[in-house]
Structure 1
Amino acid sequence: MKILFIEVGQFTNKIKSYMKTFRKFGHEVEASIFSRNTHSTQSLILKFVKLVRHSRHKKFDIIYSRNPPYTGLLAKCISKLCQSIVVYECLDDWYAQCDLLWFDSGLYKTFKVPLLKLVKFLQVINSKNTDLFITVNEIINKQMMERFKLPKNKTFIVRNLPFEIPQELDSIELTHPSLLFLGTIRPYLGLDVIVNALSYAKKEIETITLYIVGGTIKDTGYLKEIIELSKKRNVEENIVITGRLPWITALSYVKSADICLNLFSDYPKYRDTDSLKSFEYMMLGKAIISADLPGPRLIFRNGENAFLVPPDDPYALSKAIIKLSKDSNLRNTLGRQARMDYLEKYNWEQTVTKLINTFGRLLMNKLRSNKRILKKS
């Protein structure tokens, strides 16, 4: 099976993990990355033309595209030339929401309404043209089926899972008790809630330290806001920001931390999703605290494999932090159950195997359909 991935922005870990696993199972895989940061408009057009020519030569079986929506149209154009199956992955309800990081600045803000209408229109076109619509969980899957009237056999769930379990991780010396937030520093994930909760917890546990393991996508000013908030709450000395780290190094921090923190803001774009960090925490058997939202509730059970607290409530979060900080047995119990759940329910290779079988079924159906058309003609 020949598979082409089309991605916008950068060569993500998700695409790398797909390619590595597909190749492991003996399939031929390529990826084409389109980025306005590294390509001019002219070079993007030239790259598209070259990709079309290359695709006609390679005759890919599967064209796999992801957000944003215009990649779906690109995939459809190429699939027409190759007679390929079109797969479109929608990670979240991105197109139905105004992404404030984009639409609140510059020309995006000026043309916010028409841009959003265009995005929604492109998503409708994609849903009609795609052979398989991939989402990250049951909630998003149901939303897509209802919005675009998709039949169940046209959808598939691929969660945001780590593509491998590291065999050995270094231990990093941290100040204890230690809290850890893993991921990109951006608004609407609840870092402000975490900093406020830290200020409450510090009144009872003076040495408690928060490690923010991650960097920023671009200079949004949000990191500066978090630093200013930490000074205002008198917890600046209790926070360590590592910046962006290699994946293995970041996981070493996770392994060494006492308590791992998920999302804590009830922002529409994220409330129904489950994050990669959730599964990374579970994979390493950590005590986890998360906001009690629809997405996290799909994988977390309060008091069994995690603590769930109301979103946007720093006081409730601080109480959970204090409780877990003082009870190592409870941390170990939650962590063991989280890891057991991960190993039993969330296996990357099993997921990809099912996806490959689905690709095979779609290809067979397309082949039969083409044969019927030839007979009629």
Structure 2
Amino acid sequence: MKICYINFNLNNPRDQITLRGLKENGVSLLEISDCTPGWRKYVTIAKSYRAHRKECDVVMIGYAGSVLVIFMSLITRKSIVYNSLANFLDSMIISRRNGSYLSLSTIWYYAVEFLAFHMASLSFLECQSQKDMVVRLFKVNHKKISVHFVGTDDKQFCFDSTVKKLKEFTVMFRGMFLPEAGADVVIRAAKELEHEGIRFRIIGRGLLQRKIEELIQKLKPNNVEFITERLPIEILRDKMLECHLSLGQLAKHPRVHTTIPHKAFESMAMKLPYLTGENKGVMEVLKDGQTCFVVPPGDHFGLARKILEISKQPEDLERISENAYRLYLREFTPKILARKIVEEIEFR
């Protein structure tokens, strides 16, 4: 099988993980991308595709490429597989609030996603709850949607026994400061634990950064290391591995139920015990008390109590991290996940 894989930018983590996995399964790939501003990129992509279209069996559109699904549907008769993983309405309106539910931007996102999901022969989404949302919201036949977990680049985010843990019990929170992330919950929990010998390392930036900085200034927790600059991957990995516990999404927010954050798979691959707010998305992959720890979402008191409890149970930390690591190796490496993509395409 030869797949023509197209996106405006193929350097995003989601596409890179998929491309690597496909190559590891022996799939021949033609990669086409162009992120030139304006309409010229469509001309470039069309020319590149037409020059090689006879070589390809399937056209696959990468992450967040809804417009490209529509565009390619106009110039090819081949089956189009959309590696969507998420949808714009969920990520841009529900999460980032880029418009009200009746705004022009919302109508635009809905129209583009509606057409893309209906025009594609098959679409991949990151979890079952995301699939349920898309089927309901965009009136798509559920048989045209398949679940494909995102995974992680385990060549970058990998376990390394030579990296020593910090002397004090340290909790890691990493990611974009979006409403569903719950960075404010972490700051408030840190304040509750500032006299318990527990430290917090927060690495992130983004939409709510100013509000998070203002909260830190207001509460002044003395046990928080706050990093907002972009770190080289080697330094970021070591800073994560030095910690004893990794935190997931902790807000009480609708989007936590329709997405699984990268750091869930990163923590599994790095053998870092993972603590998350209870939600439908990540619970499709992990189980409380077996491969992760779970707390009620949006409850900083509950989070603080759970962290304090966990910090005194090194055996549980080791057991949870080992179980999750073995689960990752068994089911969620890029090669294993991409094999399921190939099987799904061949089955169709």
Using the size of structure 2 for normalisation, the TM-score is 0.87
**1: distance between equivalents of 2:88 and 2:271?**
30
**1: distance between equivalents of 2:253 and 2:202?**
20
Aligned length: 341
Residue 64 of structure 2 corresponds to 67
**2: distance between equivalents of 1:138 and 1:72?**
22
Q: Which stretch shows the higher mean deviation, 85-94 or 329-338?
A: 85-94
Residue 91 of structure 1: which of 78, 85, 93 is its match?
85
Q: Is the 8 A contact 1:87 1:130 kept in 2?
A: yes
Residue 239 of structure 1: which of 197, 204, 225 is its match?
225
**2: distance between equivalents of 1:73 and 1:289?**
39
Residue 317 (structure 1) aligned with residue 307 (structure 2): no
Residue 23 of structure 1 corresponds to 23
Change (3 A) 1:8 1:51: closer
SS of the counterpart of 2:115?
helix
Change (3 A) 1:359 1:261: same
Residue 347 of structure 1 corresponds to 333
Shift, 1:93, TM fit: 4.9
**2: distance between equivalents of 1:299 and 1:173?**
26
Q: Deviations over 1:348-370 (max 9, x none)?
A: 212212212333344xxxxxxxx
SS of the counterpart of 2:200?
strand
SS of the counterpart of 1:321?
helix
Residue 185 (structure 1) aligned with residue 177 (structure 2): yes
Change (3 A) 1:75 1:182: farther
Residue 258 (structure 1) aligned with residue 244 (structure 2): yes
- Residues 257-296 of structure 1: matches in 2 within 5 Å? 257-296=243-282
Q: Deviations over 1:55-111 (max 9, x none)?
A: 111104323233253232123234x2xx3221123333542572463625xxxx7x9
Query: Which amino acid is 1:159 matched to?
Result: F
Shift, 1:12, TM fit: 0.4
Change (3 A) 1:65 1:341: closer
Query: Which amino acid is 1:135 matched to?
Result: L
Root mean square deviation of aligned Cα: 2.6
**2: distance between equivalents of 1:77 and 1:170?**
53
Change (3 A) 1:198 1:33: farther
Query: Which amino acid is 1:185 matched to?
Result: F
Higher relative contact order structure (alpha carbons within 8 Å, sequence separation ≥ 6): 2
Q: Deviations over 1:255-298 (max 9, x none)?
A: 22111100001222332211110011112222221001111222
Residue 200 of structure 1 corresponds to 192
SS of the counterpart of 1:133?
strand
- Residues 1-377 of structure 1: matches in 2 within 5 Å? 1-8=1-8, 11-24=11-24, 25-34=26-35, 39-41=36-38, 45-59=39-53, 60=56, 61-67=58-64, 69-78=66-75, 80=76, 83-95=77-89, 98-99=93-94, 101=96, 103=98, 113-164=103-154, 166=158, 168=160, 171=163, 174=166, 176-203=168-195, 205=196, 207-216=197-206, 220=207, 222-236=208-222, 238-241=224-227, 243-362=229-348
Residue 367 of structure 1 corresponds to none
Query: Which amino acid is 2:189 matched to?
Result: A
SS of the counterpart of 2:93?
coil
SS of the counterpart of 1:87?
strand
Q: Is the 8 A contact 1:169 1:248 kept in 2?
A: no
Change (3 A) 1:354 1:188: closer
Q: Is the 8 A contact 1:137 1:274 kept in 2?
A: yes
Q: Deviations over 1:18-51 (max 9, x none)?
A: 22333341412303143xxxx443xxx1121121
Give unmatched runs, 5+ long, in structure 1.
Answer: 363-377
Query: Which amino acid is 1:98 matched to?
Result: I
Q: Is the 8 A contact 1:264 1:311 kept in 2?
A: yes
Change (3 A) 1:29 1:20: farther
Question: Is the helix fraction higher in 1 or 2?
Answer: 1
SS of the counterpart of 2:176?
coil
Q: Is the 8 A contact 1:176 1:209 kept in 2?
A: yes
Query: Which amino acid is 1:88 matched to?
Result: Y
Change (3 A) 1:293 1:130: same
Q: Which stretch shows the higher mean deviation, 128-137 or 148-157?
A: 148-157
Q: Deviations over 1:163-204 (max 9, x none)?
A: 43547475266352101012223343100000001101113x
Query: Which amino acid is 2:96 matched to?
Result: L
Alignment identity in percent? 17
Q: Which stretch shows the higher mean deviation, 130-139 or 58-67?
A: 58-67
Larger Rg: 1
Using the size of structure 1 for normalisation, the TM-score is 0.81
**2: distance between equivalents of 1:100 and 1:340?**
32
